[in-house]
Amino acid sequence: MVLFRHEVFGLAALAIALLNLLRPSLVLVALTLAVAAFGVVLHNVDLSALAVGVLILSLARPAPAPE
């Protein structure tokens, strides 16, 4: 209940999505989706929706060139 009141799920989803934007990883994508889903279900929709938007932006960037 305390986590719900302070929008911890939304903040965590946003933090993980921003981390994924800087350093893409399949694990971070899965974790962002899971935490954002908890945030949407538990009515932390504002920050969770922002996290999903950042996640989409991180998936939309071009693949790195092979070295």
Report whether 41 contacts 12 (CB < 8 A). Answer: no
pLDDT at 34: 95
Rg for the chain, CA atoms, rounded: 13
pTM: 0.85
pLDDT at 60: 87
pLDDT at residue 1 greater than cutoff 80: no
pLDDT digits (tens, 9 = 90+) for 43-66: 889 999 999 999 999 988 777 778
CA 47 to chain centre: 9
The set of residues, in sequence order, having a beta carbon less than 8 Å from that of 3 and lying 6+ positions away, is 9
pLDDT digits (tens, 9 = 90+) for 11-48: 999 999 999 999 988 999 999 999 999 999 988 899 99
